[in-house]
Amino acid sequence: MKKNATLKRISLVIACSMLVVISNAQLLVNGPIFNSVGTGPSGTDESWCFDVSLLMGNFGYGASSTSFYRVADDFTVPVGVTWNIDSLYFYCYQTGASTGVSSITAVNIRVLNDNAGAPGSTVVWGDTTTNRLGRSVWTNGYRTLESTTGTATTRPIFKNVCGTPSLSLPAGTYWLDWQYTGQLASGPWANPITITGNATTGNGMQVLGAQNPYLAVMDAGSATPQGFPFSIFGTVISGIESAELIKNISVYPNPANNFVNVQLNLASEMPVGIEILNALGEVVYSVDNGKQVQISQQIDCSGIASGFYFMKVRVGNEFVVKKFTKE
Protein backbone atom coordinates (compact mmCIF):
# COMPACT_ATOMS: atom_id res chain seq x y z
CA MET A 1 0.00 0.00 0.00
CA LYS A 2 1.36 3.43 -0.89
CA LYS A 3 1.78 6.07 1.78
CA ASN A 4 -0.01 9.38 1.65
CA ALA A 5 2.26 11.71 -0.32
CA THR A 6 2.28 14.20 2.54
CA LEU A 7 4.06 11.71 4.79
CA LYS A 8 7.27 11.52 2.79
CA ARG A 9 9.28 14.61 1.98
CA ILE A 10 12.46 14.32 -0.08
CA SER A 11 14.93 17.18 -0.03
CA LEU A 12 17.44 16.95 -2.88
CA VAL A 13 19.74 19.66 -4.18
CA ILE A 14 20.56 18.91 -7.81
CA ALA A 15 21.15 21.66 -10.39
CA CYS A 16 19.38 21.51 -13.73
CA SER A 17 22.44 21.99 -15.93
CA MET A 18 25.30 20.89 -13.70
CA LEU A 19 25.59 18.27 -11.03
CA VAL A 20 25.59 19.44 -7.42
CA VAL A 21 26.33 17.05 -4.59
CA ILE A 22 25.34 18.09 -1.06
CA SER A 23 26.85 16.15 1.83
CA ASN A 24 25.35 15.87 5.31
CA ALA A 25 21.94 16.74 3.85
CA GLN A 26 18.57 15.62 5.16
CA LEU A 27 17.43 13.27 2.42
CA LEU A 28 14.06 12.22 3.78
CA VAL A 29 11.69 12.83 6.69
CA ASN A 30 9.13 10.09 7.29
CA GLY A 31 6.85 11.75 9.81
CA PRO A 32 5.75 13.89 11.55
CA ILE A 33 6.58 12.91 15.13
CA PHE A 34 4.47 15.53 16.94
CA ASN A 35 1.05 16.88 16.02
CA SER A 36 0.72 19.42 18.84
CA VAL A 37 3.66 21.76 19.47
CA GLY A 38 4.01 23.50 22.83
CA THR A 39 0.81 22.10 24.38
CA GLY A 40 2.51 19.70 26.80
CA PRO A 41 3.63 20.40 30.38
CA SER A 42 6.01 23.39 30.53
CA GLY A 43 5.56 24.05 26.81
CA THR A 44 6.74 20.64 25.60
CA ASP A 45 5.50 19.02 22.38
CA GLU A 46 2.97 16.22 22.18
CA SER A 47 2.28 13.21 19.98
CA TRP A 48 -1.37 12.33 20.51
CA CYS A 49 -3.09 8.98 20.41
CA PHE A 50 -6.47 10.27 19.19
CA ASP A 51 -8.65 8.35 21.63
CA VAL A 52 -11.48 10.91 21.45
CA SER A 53 -11.81 12.21 17.88
CA LEU A 54 -10.60 9.11 16.00
CA LEU A 55 -11.20 6.36 18.59
CA MET A 56 -7.56 5.24 18.38
CA GLY A 57 -6.03 3.03 21.05
CA ASN A 58 -2.27 2.46 20.65
CA PHE A 59 0.37 4.53 22.39
CA GLY A 60 3.12 2.61 20.57
CA TYR A 61 4.34 -0.70 19.18
CA GLY A 62 6.80 -3.11 20.75
CA ALA A 63 10.33 -2.99 19.30
CA SER A 64 12.39 -4.55 22.09
CA SER A 65 15.47 -6.65 21.37
CA THR A 66 14.90 -8.76 24.50
CA SER A 67 11.62 -10.05 23.01
CA PHE A 68 12.86 -9.98 19.40
CA TYR A 69 10.16 -7.48 18.51
CA ARG A 70 11.05 -5.44 15.43
CA VAL A 71 9.34 -2.70 13.42
CA ALA A 72 9.80 -1.79 9.77
CA ASP A 73 8.88 0.92 7.27
CA ASP A 74 9.79 1.75 3.68
CA PHE A 75 11.38 4.57 1.69
CA THR A 76 12.34 5.25 -1.92
CA VAL A 77 15.60 6.48 -3.44
CA PRO A 78 14.59 8.47 -6.57
CA VAL A 79 15.48 7.40 -10.09
CA GLY A 80 18.82 8.68 -11.37
CA VAL A 81 20.58 9.14 -8.03
CA THR A 82 22.44 7.19 -5.38
CA TRP A 83 22.14 7.89 -1.65
CA ASN A 84 25.25 7.54 0.48
CA ILE A 85 23.56 7.40 3.88
CA ASP A 86 25.55 8.69 6.87
CA SER A 87 22.96 8.42 9.63
CA LEU A 88 19.39 7.45 10.48
CA TYR A 89 17.19 8.96 13.20
CA PHE A 90 14.62 6.74 14.91
CA TYR A 91 12.12 7.60 17.66
CA CYS A 92 10.81 5.64 20.63
CA TYR A 93 9.81 5.86 24.29
CA GLN A 94 9.96 3.83 27.48
CA THR A 95 7.17 4.33 29.99
CA GLY A 96 8.49 5.98 33.13
CA ALA A 97 11.80 7.09 31.60
CA SER A 98 13.60 10.21 32.78
CA THR A 99 14.03 13.08 30.35
CA GLY A 100 17.52 13.86 31.67
CA VAL A 101 19.41 10.79 30.46
CA SER A 102 17.98 8.51 27.80
CA SER A 103 17.18 4.94 28.80
CA ILE A 104 17.88 3.69 25.24
CA THR A 105 21.24 1.91 25.01
CA ALA A 106 21.26 0.21 21.60
CA VAL A 107 19.63 0.16 18.16
CA ASN A 108 20.26 -2.47 15.49
CA ILE A 109 19.18 -1.91 11.90
CA ARG A 110 18.73 -3.78 8.65
CA VAL A 111 17.97 -2.51 5.15
CA LEU A 112 16.00 -4.92 2.95
CA ASN A 113 15.31 -4.80 -0.77
CA ASP A 114 11.63 -5.64 -0.37
CA ASN A 115 8.80 -5.67 2.16
CA ALA A 116 10.25 -7.05 5.39
CA GLY A 117 7.66 -9.83 5.43
CA ALA A 118 7.75 -10.69 1.73
CA PRO A 119 9.11 -14.07 0.55
CA GLY A 120 12.49 -13.60 -1.10
CA SER A 121 13.29 -10.23 0.48
CA THR A 122 16.99 -10.00 1.26
CA VAL A 123 19.13 -7.91 3.60
CA VAL A 124 21.33 -5.48 1.65
CA TRP A 125 22.93 -3.85 4.71
CA GLY A 126 23.05 -4.30 8.48
CA ASP A 127 22.19 -7.09 10.91
CA THR A 128 20.25 -7.84 14.10
CA THR A 129 23.21 -7.65 16.49
CA THR A 130 25.45 -4.63 15.75
CA ASN A 131 24.68 -1.59 17.90
CA ARG A 132 24.44 1.42 15.56
CA LEU A 133 23.40 3.94 18.23
CA GLY A 134 25.60 7.03 18.40
CA ARG A 135 23.52 9.05 20.84
CA SER A 136 20.00 9.15 22.24
CA VAL A 137 18.42 12.43 23.40
CA TRP A 138 15.00 13.55 24.57
CA THR A 139 13.00 15.32 21.86
CA ASN A 140 11.34 17.74 24.32
CA GLY A 141 8.08 15.89 23.73
CA TYR A 142 5.79 13.16 25.00
CA ARG A 143 3.48 10.48 23.66
CA THR A 144 0.07 10.97 25.26
CA LEU A 145 -3.67 10.55 24.84
CA GLU A 146 -5.72 13.28 23.20
CA SER A 147 -7.90 13.18 26.32
CA THR A 148 -4.95 13.90 28.67
CA THR A 149 -3.19 16.60 26.66
CA GLY A 150 -1.19 19.06 28.72
CA THR A 151 -0.69 16.75 31.69
CA ALA A 152 1.01 13.45 30.77
CA THR A 153 4.79 13.04 31.19
CA THR A 154 5.21 9.27 31.55
CA ARG A 155 6.19 8.57 27.92
CA PRO A 156 9.04 10.89 26.86
CA ILE A 157 10.03 10.37 23.21
CA PHE A 158 13.73 9.96 22.46
CA LYS A 159 15.58 10.68 19.21
CA ASN A 160 18.10 7.93 18.46
CA VAL A 161 20.91 8.96 16.11
CA CYS A 162 22.44 5.93 14.40
CA GLY A 163 25.57 5.76 12.24
CA THR A 164 25.39 3.82 8.98
CA PRO A 165 28.94 3.25 7.67
CA SER A 166 29.28 2.07 4.05
CA LEU A 167 25.54 2.30 3.36
CA SER A 168 25.12 3.28 -0.29
CA LEU A 169 21.82 2.66 -2.10
CA PRO A 170 20.98 3.11 -5.80
CA ALA A 171 17.49 4.07 -6.94
CA GLY A 172 14.74 1.80 -5.67
CA THR A 173 12.36 1.10 -2.80
CA TYR A 174 13.79 -0.29 0.43
CA TRP A 175 12.59 -1.30 3.87
CA LEU A 176 14.23 -0.29 7.13
CA ASP A 177 13.85 -2.86 9.90
CA TRP A 178 15.00 -2.04 13.45
CA GLN A 179 14.72 -2.70 17.18
CA TYR A 180 15.84 -1.08 20.44
CA THR A 181 17.45 -2.06 23.71
CA GLY A 182 16.45 -0.09 26.79
CA GLN A 183 17.21 -0.06 30.50
CA LEU A 184 13.62 -0.11 31.78
CA ALA A 185 11.05 -2.89 32.01
CA SER A 186 8.50 -1.26 29.70
CA GLY A 187 9.29 -1.34 25.98
CA PRO A 188 11.05 0.24 24.19
CA TRP A 189 8.01 1.23 22.16
CA ALA A 190 8.05 2.73 18.65
CA ASN A 191 5.65 5.69 18.54
CA PRO A 192 3.70 5.95 15.27
CA ILE A 193 3.47 8.89 12.87
CA THR A 194 0.89 11.31 14.23
CA ILE A 195 -1.20 13.65 12.06
CA THR A 196 -4.20 15.57 13.37
CA GLY A 197 -7.38 14.25 11.79
CA ASN A 198 -5.68 11.22 10.17
CA ALA A 199 -6.29 7.74 11.55
CA THR A 200 -4.22 6.18 8.73
CA THR A 201 -0.57 7.28 8.71
CA GLY A 202 1.43 4.70 6.75
CA ASN A 203 2.19 1.06 6.05
CA GLY A 204 4.56 0.03 8.83
CA MET A 205 5.22 -3.60 9.74
CA GLN A 206 5.98 -5.40 13.01
CA VAL A 207 7.22 -8.85 14.01
CA LEU A 208 6.53 -10.22 17.49
CA GLY A 209 9.19 -12.87 18.08
CA ALA A 210 11.91 -14.43 15.95
CA GLN A 211 9.77 -17.23 14.53
CA ASN A 212 6.71 -15.15 13.74
CA PRO A 213 5.80 -13.43 10.46
CA TYR A 214 5.80 -9.68 9.87
CA LEU A 215 2.33 -8.20 10.06
CA ALA A 216 0.88 -4.82 9.11
CA VAL A 217 0.86 -2.36 12.03
CA MET A 218 -2.76 -1.57 12.88
CA ASP A 219 -4.19 0.67 15.56
CA ALA A 220 -6.20 -1.39 18.06
CA GLY A 221 -9.02 1.14 18.34
CA SER A 222 -9.54 2.44 14.80
CA ALA A 223 -8.19 -0.65 12.98
CA THR A 224 -6.23 1.63 10.63
CA PRO A 225 -2.65 1.11 9.32
CA GLN A 226 0.17 3.09 10.92
CA GLY A 227 3.65 4.26 9.84
CA PHE A 228 6.75 5.06 11.86
CA PRO A 229 8.70 8.34 11.91
CA PHE A 230 12.35 8.31 10.88
CA SER A 231 14.82 10.59 9.08
CA ILE A 232 17.64 9.85 6.64
CA PHE A 233 20.80 11.96 6.33
CA GLY A 234 23.63 11.64 3.83
CA THR A 235 24.82 12.56 0.35
CA VAL A 236 22.99 12.59 -2.98
CA ILE A 237 25.12 11.50 -5.92
CA SER A 238 24.20 11.45 -9.60
CA GLY A 239 26.44 9.54 -12.02
CA ILE A 240 29.44 7.23 -11.67
CA GLU A 241 31.99 10.00 -12.24
CA SER A 242 30.55 12.03 -9.42
CA ALA A 243 30.54 9.09 -7.02
CA GLU A 244 34.29 8.80 -7.54
CA LEU A 245 34.78 12.56 -7.35
CA ILE A 246 33.15 12.96 -3.95
CA LYS A 247 35.31 10.18 -2.49
CA ASN A 248 38.41 12.16 -3.46
CA ILE A 249 37.44 15.45 -1.79
CA SER A 250 37.88 16.07 1.93
CA VAL A 251 36.90 19.17 3.92
CA TYR A 252 38.13 19.27 7.53
CA PRO A 253 38.00 19.93 10.43
CA ASN A 254 34.25 20.14 10.84
CA PRO A 255 33.42 22.20 12.79
CA ALA A 256 36.23 24.60 11.85
CA ASN A 257 37.67 27.45 13.89
CA ASN A 258 40.27 29.72 12.25
CA PHE A 259 41.18 27.47 9.33
CA VAL A 260 39.46 24.87 7.15
CA ASN A 261 41.37 22.45 4.90
CA VAL A 262 40.46 21.14 1.45
CA GLN A 263 42.15 18.07 0.01
CA LEU A 264 41.56 16.83 -3.51
CA ASN A 265 43.11 14.00 -5.53
CA LEU A 266 42.23 13.54 -9.21
CA ALA A 267 43.13 10.88 -11.76
CA SER A 268 44.17 13.55 -14.29
CA GLU A 269 44.77 17.30 -14.45
CA MET A 270 41.54 19.33 -14.44
CA PRO A 271 40.50 22.96 -13.75
CA VAL A 272 39.69 23.41 -10.06
CA GLY A 273 37.96 26.29 -8.26
CA ILE A 274 36.86 26.72 -4.64
CA GLU A 275 34.14 28.91 -3.15
CA ILE A 276 32.66 29.28 0.33
CA LEU A 277 29.02 30.36 0.50
CA ASN A 278 27.03 31.41 3.54
CA ALA A 279 23.51 30.23 4.37
CA LEU A 280 22.06 32.94 2.09
CA GLY A 281 24.09 31.70 -0.88
CA GLU A 282 26.45 34.69 -0.80
CA VAL A 283 30.10 33.99 -1.76
CA VAL A 284 32.42 34.87 1.14
CA TYR A 285 35.58 33.27 -0.32
CA SER A 286 36.63 32.39 -3.86
CA VAL A 287 39.78 31.13 -5.57
CA ASP A 288 40.57 29.72 -9.02
CA ASN A 289 43.34 27.14 -8.73
CA GLY A 290 43.78 26.51 -12.45
CA LYS A 291 44.50 23.00 -13.67
CA GLN A 292 45.46 20.64 -10.87
CA VAL A 293 45.86 16.94 -10.13
CA GLN A 294 46.17 17.35 -6.38
CA ILE A 295 45.25 20.11 -3.92
CA SER A 296 46.01 20.44 -0.23
CA GLN A 297 44.81 23.91 0.66
CA GLN A 298 44.33 25.63 4.03
CA ILE A 299 41.76 28.45 3.96
CA ASP A 300 41.75 31.20 6.57
CA CYS A 301 38.15 31.53 7.79
CA SER A 302 38.90 33.50 10.96
CA GLY A 303 37.26 36.59 9.45
CA ILE A 304 33.85 35.06 8.76
CA ALA A 305 31.03 34.87 11.30
CA SER A 306 30.08 31.68 13.12
CA GLY A 307 27.42 29.55 11.44
CA PHE A 308 26.80 27.06 8.63
CA TYR A 309 28.67 27.39 5.32
CA PHE A 310 28.96 25.48 2.06
CA MET A 311 32.32 24.63 0.48
CA LYS A 312 31.75 24.46 -3.29
CA VAL A 313 34.54 22.71 -5.16
CA ARG A 314 34.44 22.88 -8.95
CA VAL A 315 36.24 20.19 -10.90
CA GLY A 316 35.88 20.64 -14.64
CA ASN A 317 32.14 20.99 -15.30
CA GLU A 318 31.03 19.35 -12.07
CA PHE A 319 30.50 20.74 -8.57
CA VAL A 320 30.67 19.09 -5.18
CA VAL A 321 29.24 21.05 -2.25
CA LYS A 322 30.05 20.09 1.33
CA LYS A 323 28.49 21.69 4.37
CA PHE A 324 30.64 22.70 7.35
CA THR A 325 30.26 24.71 10.52
CA LYS A 326 32.39 27.72 11.50
CA GLU A 327 32.61 28.07 15.28
Q: Where does the chain hold its CATH 2.60.40.1930 domain(s)?
A: 248-326
pLDDT in tens, 266-298: 878 889 999 998 866 788 999 999 998 898 999
Return the pLDDT at 24: 58
CA pair distance 32, 303, nearest whole angstrom: 39
pLDDT band at residue 309 under the 50/70/90 scheme: confident
CA pair distance 313, 20, nearest whole angstrom: 10
CATH fold group of domain 248-326? Immunoglobulin-like (2.60.40)
Chain mean position to CA 124: 18
Is the model's pLDDT at 308 over the cut of 90?
A: no
**140-149, 229-238, 317-326 — which is least confidently predicted?**
317-326
> Mean of the per-residue pLDDT values for the chain?
87
pTM, 2 dp: 0.71
Residue 255's contacts (CB-CB under 8 Å, 6 or more residues apart) are: 324, 325, 326, 327
Is the model's pLDDT at 16 over the cut of 50?
A: no
Give Rg (Cα) of the chain: 22
Return the pLDDT at 247: 59
Work out the average pLDDT over 111-115. Answer: 90
